[in-house]
């Protein structure tokens, strides 16, 4: 598995400081991109948390996921969580080292009593001493939190620089890209009150990597014999153990997942615990032995030339709003909602888009990756383009023949496409299209685009050009330094 070495540089270590008044949680930030441009140590918030004990537990849960490999747990990971200031809230995010669990703590407007000082994305230092201090937070004592340096005018370093060099797996980025696509297909499947939520989560088997199916039964969830209408998949129930830190503060549990039917394969699911003024959500992959990076949910959008053009247009319209509304983007860009969604998928491959299942809406963040990196890292997409470039695809109506080495595969283009290859026979589309279906889609779309002249309407051509120039300028500025992490040379 390939990885890149990234460095995290902080003015000082994050700490929970005692004083004459309320304890003060000082979260140090690394360099990031804000609405005002690049900042070496951005400051997002200063004020009190309305539920300090629950907030400490939620932040520890996000840090627990970042430090854990649920598969092959002997190899620990130490990745600093990502924090995004979205105007009226803070979002703390992390991925597990194995790439199969995505955690996000949303500190909502009701959870903070202070001033939101900025918008943007960076990383926060959650070190071992801070973890120990957060675990001691209790009772109803007030807790003051500052995300970023005390003084935004600091121009010299009064103390030692804290730098961490972390091998960051490329699958971590691919996981961010995949999980927002999968989550956008989820619907609310069950909602439990506080007592039943705690009872259910505590009843889950420990150290279990099996696939469980559950479905609503009265006020709680009961085990189901297998996939059925209304059921939710929980692959590896042990991967929800980070929720144990906040159970005593839980107000409700909401469970999200895609629609399934008898015979459906294992699927991803999201488990959201409502806290006072906050939400903690864990999204788990369909298999405890694999991460989100191989799910193939982004491949259809990445295989379209039109989505690449639309992504440039949509990226220029993104703002640091708590909700990115597809309808608003479609109106401003002059394209339909489906094209906006495909563009958002493509922007998600650079980590610029996330999805909040609780609000059924996208949100904007910035990570230090270019949009094409996840595309270049995806072997199926690379192989599909190689087949197209090599003239290996022959389309005849709704069918196609694809030559790959010494074998010719038969592809049916109806629906999401089927193929006679071993990959499709094994997964039957459950992990995205195979390279032969992808290659056929690329050829068919290019032929259709050539037939009607262009993938962009004349009415939006000027807007697209101007927006693309803005987006390219932003990308060039972002490339001068990284958002939260910087590749070590």
- 21 confidence band (pLDDT: 50, 70, 90): confident
Vertex 212 angle, CA 207 and 214, to 5° = 130
Indicate the burial class of 173 (C-beta count within 10 angstroms; 0-12, 13-18, 19 or more).
buried
Residue 459, pLDDT above cutoff 50: no
Q: Which range scores top for mean pLDDT: 181-190, 363-372, 457-466?
A: 181-190
Tell me, what's the pLDDT at 348?
Answer: 82
User: pTM (2 decimals)?
Assistant: 0.80
- DSSP-derived letter for residue 119 is -
Q: Which of 25-34, 48-57, 163-172, 187-196 has the lowest average pLDDT?
A: 163-172
Please tell me which residue, 223 or 479, carries the higher pLDDT value: 223
CA 428 to chain centre: 25
Q: What is the pLDDT of residue 331?
A: 93
**Is the pLDDT higher at 420 or at 486?**
420
Asked whether the predicted pLDDT for residue 458 surpasses 70, the reply is no
Span of 260-264, 367-371, 459-463 with lowest mean pLDDT: 459-463
Asked if 19 contacts 45 with a C-beta cutoff of 8 angstroms, the reply is: no
Which of 450, 434, 471, 178 has its CA nearest to residue 308? 471
**pLDDT of 102 over the 80 cut:** yes
Per-residue pLDDT, averaged over 103-114, amounts to 95
pLDDT in tens, 276-294: 999 999 999 998 888 886 6
Hey, what's the torsion of the CAs at 52, 58, 63, 69, to 10 degrees?
A: 160
pLDDT digits (tens, 9 = 90+) for 164-179: 766 666 667 778 888 9
Q: Return the top range by mean pLDDT from 24-38, 63-77, 437-451.
A: 24-38
Distance CA 346, CA 348 (A): 5
Domain segments of the chain: what residues? 3-169, 378-452
Nearest alpha carbon to residue 44 among 131, 107, 121? 121
CA distance 73 to 65: 12
Range of lowest pLDDT (72-86, 248-262, 368-382): 368-382
The contacts of residue 163 (CB under 8 Å, 6+ apart) are 7, 8, 9, 10
The pLDDT-based confidence of 295 (bands split at 50, 70, 90) is low
DSSP string, 145-187: EEES-S-TT--S-SSPPEEEEEEEEHHHHHHHHHHHHHHTT-E
Residue 387: its pLDDT value, please? 92
Rounded to an integer, the average pLDDT of 477-486 is 33
Tell me the pLDDT band of 371, cut-offs 50, 70 and 90.
low
Between 240 and 154, whose confidence is greater? 240
- Mean pLDDT (whole number) for 77-103: 88
Task: State the DSSP code for 12.
Answer: S
pLDDT, greater one: 288 or 483: 288
Residue found by looking up tokens 């948390």 in the block: 49
Quick one: pLDDT band at residue 436, thresholds 50, 70, 90? very high
Query: Is the pLDDT reported for residue 215 higher than 70?
Result: yes
Q: What is the mean pLDDT of the chain?
A: 81
Query: Among 203, 11, 223, 284, which Cα is nearest to 124's?
Result: 11
The answer to whether residue 141 scores a pLDDT higher than 90 is: no
Give the rounded percent of residues in the chain with a pLDDT score beyond 70.
Answer: 80
Conformation bin of residue 360: beta by default, left when phi > 0, alpha when psi is -120 to 50: left
Assign 308 a pLDDT band (cuts: 50, 70, 90): confident
The residues, any chain, with a CB within 8 Å of residue 451's CB and separated by 6 or more, are none
Lowest-confidence region among 58-67, 149-158, 402-411: 149-158
**Which among 327, 301, 70 is positioned nearest to 178, based on CA atoms?**
301
With a cut of 90, say whether residue 260 has pLDDT above it: yes
Of 96-100, 330-334, 431-435, 482-486, the least confident: 482-486
Neighbours of 126 (CB within 10 A): 25
HSE, CB side, 13 Å, CA atoms: give it for residue 297.
25
Please state, in angstroms and rounded to a whole number, the distance separating the CA atoms of residues 114 and 127: 25
Asked if residue 453 has pLDDT above 70, the reply is no
pLDDT at 474: 38
Q: Which residues have C-beta within 8 Å of that of residue 459, sequence separation ≥ 6?
A: 334
pLDDT at 451: 46
Residue whose tokens read 């969580």: 81
Q: What is the mean pLDDT of residues 326-330?
A: 92
Encode pLDDT of 405-433 as tens digits.
889 999 998 877 899 998 888 887 777 78
Query: Residue by residue, what is the 3-state secondary structure of 226-292?
Result: CCCCCCEEEECHHHHHHHHHHHHHCCEEEEEECCCCCCCCCCCEEEEEEECCEEEEEEECCCCCCCH
List helix spans (H) across 362-457. Answer: 373-377, 379-389, 422-427, 435-452
């Amino acid at each position: 598995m390939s990885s890149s070495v990234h460095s995290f540089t902080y003015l000082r270590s994050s700490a929970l400081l005692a004083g004459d008044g309320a304890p003060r949680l000082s979260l140090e930030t690394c360099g990031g991109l804000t609405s005002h441009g690049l900042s070496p140590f951005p400051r997002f918030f200063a004020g009190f948390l309305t539920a300090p004990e629950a907030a400490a537990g939620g932040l520890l849960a996000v840090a627990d996921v970042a430090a854990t490999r649920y598969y092959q747990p002997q190899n620990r990971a130490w990745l600093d969580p990502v924090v995004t200031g979205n105007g009226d809230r803070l979002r703390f995010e992390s991925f597990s080292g194995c790439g199969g669990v995505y955690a996000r703590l949303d500190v909502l407007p009701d959870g903070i009593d202070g001033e939101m000082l900025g918008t943007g994305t960076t990383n926060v230092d959650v070190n071992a001493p801070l973890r120990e201090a957060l675990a001691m937070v209790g009772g109803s004592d007030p807790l003051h939190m500052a995300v970023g340096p005390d003084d935004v005018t600091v121009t010299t370093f009064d103390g030692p620089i804290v730098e961490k060099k972390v091998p960051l797996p490329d699958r971590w980025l691919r996981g961010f890209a995949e999980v927002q696509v999968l989550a956008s297909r989820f619907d609310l499947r069950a909602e439990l009150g506080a007592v039943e939520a705690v009872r259910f989560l505590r009843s889950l088997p420990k150290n279990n990597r099996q696939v469980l199916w559950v479905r609503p039964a009265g006020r709680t969830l009961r085990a189901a014999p297998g996939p059925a209408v209304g059921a939710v998949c929980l692959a590896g129930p042990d991967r929800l153990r980070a929720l144990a830190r906040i159970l005593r503060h839980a107000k409700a549990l909401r469970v999200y997942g895609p629609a399934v039917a008898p015979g459906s394969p294992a699927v991803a699911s999201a488990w959201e615990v409502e806290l006072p003024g906050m939400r903690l959500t864990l999204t788990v992959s369909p298999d405890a032995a694999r991460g989100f990076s191989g799910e193939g949910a982004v491949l259809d959008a990445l295989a379209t030339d039109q989505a690449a053009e639309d992504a440039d247009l949509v990226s220029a319209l993104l703002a640091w709003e708590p909700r990115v509304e597809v309808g608003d983007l479609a109106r401003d860009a002059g394209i339909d909602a489906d094209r906006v969604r495909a563009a958002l998928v493509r922007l998600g491959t650079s980590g610029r888009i996330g999805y909040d299942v609780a609000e059924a809406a996208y949100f904007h963040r910035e990570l230090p990756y270019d949009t094409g990196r996840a595309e270049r890292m995806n072997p199926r997409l690379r192989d599909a383009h190689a087949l197209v470039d090599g003239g290996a695809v022959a389309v005849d109506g709704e069918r196609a023949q694809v030559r790959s080495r010494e074998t010719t595969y038969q592809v049916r283009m109806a629906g999401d496409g089927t193929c006679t290859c071993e990959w499709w026979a094994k997964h039957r589309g459950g992990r995205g299209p195979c390279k032969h279906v992808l290659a056929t889609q690329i050829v068919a779309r290019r032929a259709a685009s050539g037939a009607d002249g262009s993938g962009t309407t004349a009415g939006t051509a000027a807007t697209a050009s101007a927006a693309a120039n803005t987006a390219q300028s932003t990308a060039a500025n972002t490339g001068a330094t990284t958002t939260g992490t910087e590749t070590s040379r």
